[in-house]
Amino acid sequence: MPPHSSNPDEIIPDIVIGRLPIYLRALMRLSQEGREVTSSHELGRILGISSAQIRKDLSHFGGFGKQGTGYQIAYLEDKLRQVLQVNREWEIALVGAGDLGQAVANYRGFADRGFHIACVFDSNPQKIGKQSGKFVIQPMSELKETIISKGIQIAMIAVPAEYAQEVANQLVDAGIRAILNYAPISINVPDGVHVQYIDPVAHLQRMTYYLK
């Protein structure tokens, strides 16, 4: 396991972990622009987060920069990838091959950043056995065995809301530890299983509060 923190006994708050991918995204942008050094002030300005918060977040993982000299972008990117364990490739199981699932399966942004869809499942007999992009859609009855045999820990749910909980139960039963849920509904999972939501409407609703 990578060093999660400079102090192995320290528990890093989940809200801090949640900001690290945002920092990584900003650093990738800067290095694509050919930049080599940045500062907590610049990152703060780009991200709308205070520079003090950024320094505090990064200090959990050891000293990435020296006072006054800024951060070496490539070094900090590497370190964040290690901490987040994204300095490797991950395979993903996708459940749901409808419009949304197909869009997810075809989204090129995953593979670019080390996430590979390895199998696609659907319960619709019309879809099973059909080709979806580079995948043959498998029946739900093969879900558990496939996930276990491939050693997959991450899944994405792209089924209608009313089926999302049942799918989540099957994924947990197959040993999945992280679920990205595209269904617009909250799901319940046991402790130790992580869930994140993609709900664009929730993001829109968060902004309409501020509109006139």
Nearer to a second copy, 129 or 194 (CB): 194
Among 37, 47, 118, 128, binds a second copy (CB under 8 A): 47
Distance CA 123, CA 212 (A): 44
Burial category of 61 from C-beta neighbours within 10 Å (exposed 0-12, middle 13-18, buried 19 and up): buried
Given a contact cutoff of 8 angstroms between Cβ atoms, the answer to whether 175 and 153 are in contact is: yes
Distance CA 18, CA 205 (A): 21
Cα distance between the two ends of the chain: 50
Q: Which stretch binds a second copy (CB under 8 A): 57-65, 71-79, 116-124, 148-156?
A: 148-156
Nearer to a second copy, 75 or 110 (CB): 110
Per CB under 8 A, 67 contacts a second copy: no
Per CB under 8 A, 9 contacts a second copy: no
Per CB under 8 A, 76 contacts a second copy: no
Per CB under 8 A, 34 contacts a second copy: no
Per CB under 8 A, 134 contacts a second copy: no
Distance CA 33, CA 117 (A): 29
* Longest CA span, the chain: 62
Distance CA 72, CA 75 (A): 5
Distance CA 2, CA 169 (A): 29
The least CB distance from residue 22 to a second copy, in Å, is 6
The least CB distance from residue 206 to a second copy, in Å, is 5
Nearer to a second copy, 22 or 37 (CB): 22
Nearer to a second copy, 134 or 206 (CB): 206
Given a contact cutoff of 8 angstroms between Cβ atoms, the answer to whether 155 and 92 are in contact is: yes
Distance CA 95, CA 14 (A): 26
Q: Which stretch binds a second copy (CB under 8 A): 55-63, 68-76, 136-144, 203-211?
A: 203-211
Per CB under 8 A, 66 contacts a second copy: no
Distance CA 23, CA 61 (A): 13
Per CB under 8 A, 206 contacts a second copy: yes
Residue ranges that bind a second copy, judged by CB under 8 A:
1, 4, 17-18, 20-22, 24-26, 29, 45-47, 83-86, 90, 92, 99-100, 103-104, 106-110, 113, 115, 153-154, 156, 161, 177-178, 180, 184-186, 188, 194, 196-212
